[in-house]
Amino acid sequence: MKKMKQAFLFFAIFVSVCALFASAEAATIELNNIDDDGVGFNDPTPASPVGGNTGTTVGAQRLQVFERAAEIWENALDSNVTIVVQSTFQDRGFTPCTPTSGAIGAATSLQIFANTPGLHWPNTWHKVALANKLANADQAPGPPDSGFLAEPFADDIIAFFNPNVGTAACLTTRVWYYGLDHNEGASGIDLLAVVLHEIGHGLGFANDVTEASGASPLGLPDVYSSFTYDNVVDKAWNQMHNAERAASAVRFRKVVFAGPEVTAEAPNVLTLGDVDLFITAPSSLSGTILLFGTAAFGPPATQANFSGNVVLGVDGVVGAGSPPGTVNDGCEPLTNGGAISGNIALVERGFCAFTVKVKNAQNAGATGVLVQNNAGGAFGMAGVDPTITIPSLGISTADGNLIRSNSGVAVALQSFPNRMVGADDDGRVMIFTPNPVQGGSSGSHWDQKPQPNLLMEPAINADLTDNLDLTDELLFDTSWDGDLHCPVTSDDRATVFLANGCNSGVANDLGPFVVFPELNNKKIAGPVAGGCYLADTLKYCSPRTGGDYASCVSQVTTALLNSGAINGSEKGAIQDCLDE
């Protein structure tokens, strides 16, 4: 009998372990190749193996790149439900192009879901692949869709790639690179990096917010936005109404991703040691911070090599062109070398390559260069010139004008050795929120500041590798690892405290719960998920004071009572705290 019990116990544990293994399976990503015979992924044009890609036709090489990208993602994620990526390398009209610009790829999740089984965040949109994973069942079941965007939309992601790149009508000077080694060269476009990036979006590295208006489908937030946090107003995007979200979407470098997995991993990925650019003279401007972009050429600007007086560079030539150059664009040798020598040169953007400007300033004896934007904000500078030995930075039109309208301006870089490049003071990584908003890019990418470059920055940079850097951690935060995560900004104290410091004694249980943000001082009709602890539901009341705060707390506690999150005595305890 004892042996039978032991055997039964073993069997029970064996089954449970098997079940655990089943739930921990690596994801399977399948390509639903919907291209016609002889084109796209089925292009029979002979091709020589390149960069580890052993395919001998163009179509076979494209497939190998896709399979490699799928393999990388499969190793990073777990799911028992196959992720089907409907993909086409055929001209379907979704990759518009001109000789100088064009869509090289495009992607989206086919569907989004809320309130399906297994989701941790109520009334919150999730991409279909994530909804499938958490439900442990396909929410849009069926065999792969039979054709291009064919119903019933059983596939999960759709991805397009442009077959016309390199033709007379489309990005004439460029060519796809099908190697697996990210060695695309100057004119190549690294397909592997593009596919990794596109699949990342389809899996959930994207919100469902229209940044220009702050609106979202049915007024419901998405799980990505639950961690998108504004440092100015101290709120996550799912705790805001539309107008607040729209305002937040253009707070450049003030919005971060507050997921605990990303925040924990960031020190292993991002470079430590950030720098800010300050005006140090005249005294009336001293301490002013200038935003800047870095250059891809020359030595990195540091506290040690970038300080001094700023002198406007003069080349005296208005270059002929449309638009024409200026006498301060630095596109010709500088004529005021005596003033420039030993100082930082300021030149205007435009008319010629950044490397030409910086080289001319270097030849005139400058120790560094500020390139003033001709129409906009701080910007990064691309280019290659190994003979450049001085650092250079790109600053905004406004900041350039500020320097030019004052005499005796000096600037200096200051190091912040304990701050990661691309993160805030609390180690949270910046989300891309440029001003004005860039639909499609804003909100759904990392900022461009992080070093090294990240896969999900809005630009696909030349130094990307197979490394998913912080991308998978972000997906884990949105529940791709099967767990509920609370933003690092959550109030996770054991009991609920109010803004006046009173401890209500009410257990601060795990949520998330439902809150009712206000729009123009009126309650909106629909509930919005926010926070991860009971205390977070009271957080948005905090900016209010006195009676307004008490009224807000009363509204929220009533809503919590009605939803069953707290009982009457707990509501009473919180209310009593208001009077202390």
**Between residues 468 and 538, which has the closer beta carbon with respect to another protein?**
468
Told to check if 201 binds another protein by CB under 8 A, we report yes
Residue 44 in tokens: 């029979």
Task: Name the minimum Å distance from CB 105 to another protein.
Answer: 4
Amino acid at 545: T
- Residue 523, both tokens: 């309650």
State the angle between helix axes of 568-578 and 546-563 in degrees (0 to 180), rounded to the nearest 10.
170
The answer to whether 532 touches 491, Cβ cutoff 8 Å, is no
Q: Strands of 191-341 (E only): list them.
A: 228-230, 235-236, 255-257, 272-281, 289-290, 293-294, 307-312
Range in contact with another protein (rule: CB under 8 A) among 171-179, 305-313, 490-498, 565-573: 171-179
- The site map against another protein for 371-400 (x = CB under 8 A) is --x-xxxxxxxxx----------x-x----
How far apart are CB 10 and another protein at their closest, in Å? 5
User: Is position 198 an interface residue for another protein (rule: CB under 8 A)?
Assistant: yes
Q: Name which position in 40, 204, 293, 368 contacts another protein (CB under 8 A).
A: 293
List the one residue out of 94, 63, 79, 68 whose CA is nearest residue 23.
79
Q: Is 368 in the site for another protein (CB under 8 A)?
A: no
Distance CA(525)–CA(123), nearest Å, equals 13
Selected binder of another protein within 197, 235, 419, 539 (CB under 8 A)? 197
- What is the C-alpha to C-alpha distance for residues 156 and 144, in angstroms, rounded to an integer? 9
Closest distance to another protein from the beta carbon of 24 (Å): 7
Alpha carbons within 13 angstroms on the beta-carbon side of residue 398 total 8
Q: How many CA atoms lie within 13 A of 472 on its CB side?
A: 15
Which residues inside 548-567 make contact with another protein, applying CB under 8 A?
none
User: DSSP secondary structure string, 62-97?
Assistant: HHHHHHHHHHHHHHH-B-SSPEEEEEE-S--SSS-B
d(CA 375, CA 98): 24
Choose among 201, 174, 199: nearest CA to 188.
174
In the complex, what is the shortest distance from the CB of residue 238 to another protein, in angstroms, rounded to a whole number? 16
Binding another protein (rule: CB under 8 A), the pick from 130, 189, 312, 566 is: 189
Q: Does residue number 217 form part of the binding site for another protein (CB under 8 A)?
A: yes
Instruction: Give the footprint of another protein on residues 464-523 (CB under 8 A).
Output: 465-469, 472, 476, 481-483, 485
Of residues 412 through 441, those in contact with another protein by CB under 8 A are 432, 434-436, 438-441
The CA distance from 54 to 181, in Å, is: 12
Q: How far apart are alpha carbons 516 and 533 in whole angstroms? A: 15
- Residue 327 CA to residue 350 CA, distance in Å, equals 11
Whole-number minimum distance, CB 291 to another protein, in Å?
A: 8
Residue from 271, 401, 500, 563 touching another protein (CB under 8 A): that is 271
Least distance between another protein and beta carbon 94 (Å): 6
Region 134-153 residues binding another protein, contact defined as CB under 8 A: 139-140, 149, 153
The continuous run of DSSP H or E covering 373 comes out as: none
Pairing of strands 272-281, 188-190: unpaired
Nearer CB in complex with another protein: 341/467: 467
Q: 106 with 51: CB under 8 angstroms?
A: no
Contact between 256 and another protein per CB under 8 A: no
Q: Among the candidate windows 8-16, 55-63, 362-370, 552-560, which touches another protein by CB under 8 A?
A: 8-16
Q: Which of residues 151-170 bind another protein (CB under 8 A)?
A: 153, 158, 160
C-beta of residue 559 within 8 angstroms of C-beta of residue 515 = yes
Site residues for another protein, 445-464, by CB under 8 A, read 445, 447-448, 451-453, 458-463
Using CB under 8 A, pick the residue from 14, 408, 426, 551 that binds another protein.
14
Q: Tell me how far, at minimum, the Cβ of 407 lies from another protein, in Å.
A: 27
Side chain identity at 163, as an amino acid letter? Answer: P
Quick one: which segment of 94-102, 230-238, 504-512, 540-548 binds another protein (CB under 8 A)? 94-102
319 touching another protein, by CB under 8 A: no
Which residue, 447 or 536, is less far from another protein as judged by CB? Answer: 447
Interaction of residue 269 with another protein, rule CB under 8 A:
yes
Decide whether 457 or 570 has the Cβ nearer to another protein.
Answer: 457
* C-alpha of 282 from chain center: 37
| Single-letter amino acid, residue 82 | T
Q: How far is the CB of 19 from another protein (least distance, A)?
A: 10
Residues 225-254 that bind another protein (CB under 8 A): 252-253
Using the structure block, give the residue that is written with the tokens 């442009």: 162
Q: Which of 319, 369, 329 is nearest to 350 (CA)?
A: 329
Minimum distance, C-beta of residue 551 to another protein, in the bound complex (Å) = 30
Supply the minimum distance, in Å, between the C-beta of residue 212 and another protein.
8
**C-beta of 14: minimal distance to another protein in Å?**
6
Query: Which residue is it, tokens 């099967």?
Result: 482
Beta bridge partners of residue 127, listed in sequence order: 112
Q: For Cα atoms 377, 378, 384, give the angle at the middle one, nearest 5 degrees.
A: 130
Using the minimum distance from each CB to another protein, give the nearer residue, 415 or 500: 415
Does 288 help bind another protein (rule: CB under 8 A)? no
Judged by CB under 8 A, the chain residues 15 through 54 that form the site for another protein are 16-17, 20-21, 24, 26
Least distance to another protein, CB of residue 561, Å: 21
